[in-house]
A and B are shown apart, each in its own frame.
Chain A
Amino acid sequence: MAQIIVVTSGKGGVGKTTSSAAIATGLALKGHKTVVVDFDIGLRNLDLIMGCERRVVYDFVNVINGEANLNQALIKDKRTPNLFVLPASQTRDKDALTKEGVGRVLENLGKDFEYIICDSPAGIETGAMMALYFADTAIVTTNPEVSSVRDSDRILGMLQSKSKRAEEGLAPVNEYLLLTRYSPARVATGEMLSVADVEEILAIPLLGVIPESQAVLKASNSGIPVIIDQESDAGKAYSDAVARLTGEEVEMRFVNEEKKGFLKRIFGS
């Protein structure tokens, strides 16, 4: 049985797609056969982050409607073996997703893959509901600021009441917190919520803290998931998160402000 993981947040722009791409790539790098599915119908972005935008022929909606089969729509990643992308349709809207259709596609993917990463659109409407409905695990991507935290709380409520597992009375969805765009320096000055603040409000286990990093924007623009860039803090932090997701014990990094060394203080960074 494949594990279905939804990357969700409620709020937009917090890093769902960046995280989906990084985590899917990370799992594939660990040797797990992984597919990442873009649920953001009409606002397709995942293909850009994954650097496969020129190779999209058929998409998720085509497969749901039976206009193409899965093998025609799945794009094999050029960099990472074991990694596939199922792109969203750019010309349709979220209503093209039906519970039956999505369920059928995920079931078929489950026969071939170990991990299915669902990149959820923002909001709490059809698209987001479809992305989280079938999930076994949810990675709630949150920025350390109040509106994002509240929206994450709302999504956690949805996971507890509207998911398939909740409706059928099965074991609840595993919920993990992924804190993105974290800046220890700004936490120290009181401009940003701390990891402890967010953990206290959301009360779910912490999967990882991704520091605010220039590398993320660079990676997005060049279509290379940031986890590939192991020089960057963000890349390392995503690797840690993936390790934790697969059950490894890894110490949290990038949570506290780095003490700048003497030379660094003089020459800057």
Chain B
Amino acid sequence: MQKPSLELKGSSFTLSVIHINHTDLAAVANELDSKLAIAPQFFIGAPLVVNLGAITDANYNLAGLKDLLISRQLVIVGVTSAPTALIKQAKALGLAIIKSGKQSETQPQLPKTTKIVRQNVRSGQQIYAQNGDLIIVGAVGNGAEVIADGSIHIYGNLRGKAMAGANGDKNAVIIAQSLDAELVSIAGQYWLTENLQAHATSKSGCIRLAGDALTAETLSL
């Protein structure tokens, strides 16, 4: 079979970024020349990305800057952190708009939040602590479910189901004053009552993952 005439593949490169902190082109030219004078060979023909994050002037002379850099034998591949007003100008000049790795990470990590429940969790109730630990001050009844992305602490009798590390946290633990659970699970590994009775030697304890298997530790609560 003949090789296709073109192929698209992703690849990453390290590029130098030139930060423009001043709107005055003459001043930029002066400082640029003095920098280039230190290592002239290093910069000739070097691909550069221009960071315009510090420029707030919507009428900034981007074309002038481009000419200035080209005249110093620098190759501009694109601009980054440009204010929206300058993006149009950059596109008109044929410059690529590049998002840096940091910029494209749009989802900031949510802070961990602990959920505290100060009453008995009754049969049929379900409590889920998203992205954090769950603390129950009270008992968890038969037929009740407590779920947390983090660890679960129960200051009372656990008779229902407890599922810690619900989105895969293998370091999560389940601690209860009394373990009479219908089911305990950490990051998908689970024990039913009979497994629990076979492993847990004392009533109060801590269930955690050791490798891929659950294990029960005695705690004197």
Mark A residues whose CB is within 8 Å of B: 124, 150-151, 153-154, 156-158, 160-161, 200-201, 203
A201 contact from B124, B125, B138, B141, Cβ within 8 A: B141
Q: In the bound complex, what is the Cα–Cα distance between A154 and B138 (angstroms)?
A: 15
Q: In the bound complex, what is the Cα–Cα distance between A239 and B142 (angstroms)?
A: 32
**Is the CB–CB distance between B139 and A157 below 8 Å?**
no
Mark B residues whose CB is within 8 Å of A: 119-125, 138-139, 141-144, 157, 159
Q: How far is the CB of B27 from chain A (nearest CB, A)?
A: 62
Q: Which residues of chain B come closer than 8 Å to A150, judged between CB atoms?
A: 123, 141-143
A124, A153, A160, A161: most-surrounded residue (chain B CB, <10 A): A153
In the assembled complex, 8 residue pairs joining A and B whose CB atoms fall closer than 8 Å, in A order, are A124-B124, A151-B123, A153-B142, A153-B143, A157-B141, A160-B119, A201-B159, A203-B139
* Additional A-B contacts beyond A154-B143, A157-B144, A201-B142 (18; CB < 8 A): A124-B124, A150-B123, A150-B142, A153-B122, A153-B124, A153-B141, A153-B142, A153-B143, A156-B122, A157-B121, A157-B125, A157-B141, A160-B119, A201-B139, A201-B141, A201-B159, A203-B120, A203-B138
Ranked 5 nearest A-B pairs via Cβ: A157-B122, A153-B123, A154-B123, A154-B124, A157-B125
Q: Which residues of chain B come closer than 8 Å to A201, judged between CB atoms?
A: 139, 141-142, 159
Q: In the bound complex, what is the Cα–Cα distance between A150 and B120 (angstroms)?
A: 13
Minimum CB distance partner of A153 in chain B: B123
Minimum CB distance partner of B121 in chain A: A157
Q: How far is the CB of B139 from chain A (nearest CB, A)?
A: 6
Q: How far is the CB of B85 from chain A (nearest CB, A)?
A: 48
Q: Which residues of chain A come closer than 8 Å to B120, judged between CB atoms?
A: 156, 203
Q: Which residues of chain B come closer than 8 Å to A156, judged between CB atoms?
A: 120, 122
Minimum CB distance partner of B159 in chain A: A201
Q: Which residues of chain A come closer than 8 Å to B125, judged between CB atoms?
A: 157, 160-161
Q: Which residues of chain A come closer than 8 Å to B123, judged between CB atoms?
A: 150-151, 153-154, 157
Q: Which residues of chain A come closer than 8 Å to B121, judged between CB atoms?
A: 157
Q: Which residues of chain A come closer than 8 Å to B139, judged between CB atoms?
A: 201, 203
B122, B138, B142, B159: most-surrounded residue (chain A CB, <10 A): B122
Q: How far is the CB of A147 from chain B (nearest CB, A)?
A: 10
Q: Which residues of chain B come closer than 8 Å to A161, judged between CB atoms?
A: 125
Minimum CB distance partner of A204 in chain B: B120
Q: How far is the CB of B137 from chain A (nearest CB, A)?
A: 12
Q: Which residues of chain A come closer than 8 Å to B124, judged between CB atoms?
A: 124, 153-154, 157-158
Q: How far is the CB of B166 from chain A (nearest CB, A)?
A: 21
Q: Which residues of chain A come closer than 8 Å to B159, judged between CB atoms?
A: 201
Q: Which residues of chain B come closer than 8 Å to A153, judged between CB atoms?
A: 122-124, 141-144
Q: Which residues of chain A come closer than 8 Å to B144, judged between CB atoms?
A: 153, 157
Q: In the bound complex, what is the Cα–Cα distance between A160 and B125 (angstroms)?
A: 10
Q: In the bound complex, what is the Cα–Cα distance between A120 and B143 (angstroms)?
A: 22
Q: In the bound complex, what is the Cα–Cα distance between A203 and B141 (angstroms)?
A: 10
Q: Which residues of chain B come closer than 8 Å to A158, judged between CB atoms?
A: 124
Q: In the bound complex, what is the Cα–Cα distance between A158 and B157 (angstroms)?
A: 20
Minimum CB distance partner of A200 in chain B: B157
Minimum CB distance partner of B141 in chain A: A153
Q: Which residues of chain B come closer than 8 Å to A124, judged between CB atoms?
A: 124
Q: In the bound complex, what is the Cα–Cα distance between A158 and B122 (angstroms)?
A: 9
Q: How far is the CB of A170 from chain B (nearest CB, A)?
A: 15
Q: How far is the CB of B204 from chain A (nearest CB, A)?
A: 16
Minimum CB distance partner of A156 in chain B: B122
**Is the CB–CB distance between A160 and B122 below 8 Å?**
yes
Minimum CB distance partner of B119 in chain A: A160
Q: In the bound complex, what is the Cα–Cα distance between A201 and B119 (angstroms)?
A: 13
Minimum CB distance partner of A155 in chain B: B122
Q: How far is the CB of A153 from chain B (nearest CB, A)?
A: 4
Q: How far is the CB of B182 from chain A (nearest CB, A)?
A: 11
Q: Which residues of chain B come closer than 8 Å to A160, judged between CB atoms?
A: 119, 122, 125
Q: Which residues of chain A come closer than 8 Å to B143, judged between CB atoms?
A: 150, 153-154
Q: In the bound complex, what is the Cα–Cα distance between A210 and B157 (angstroms)?
A: 27
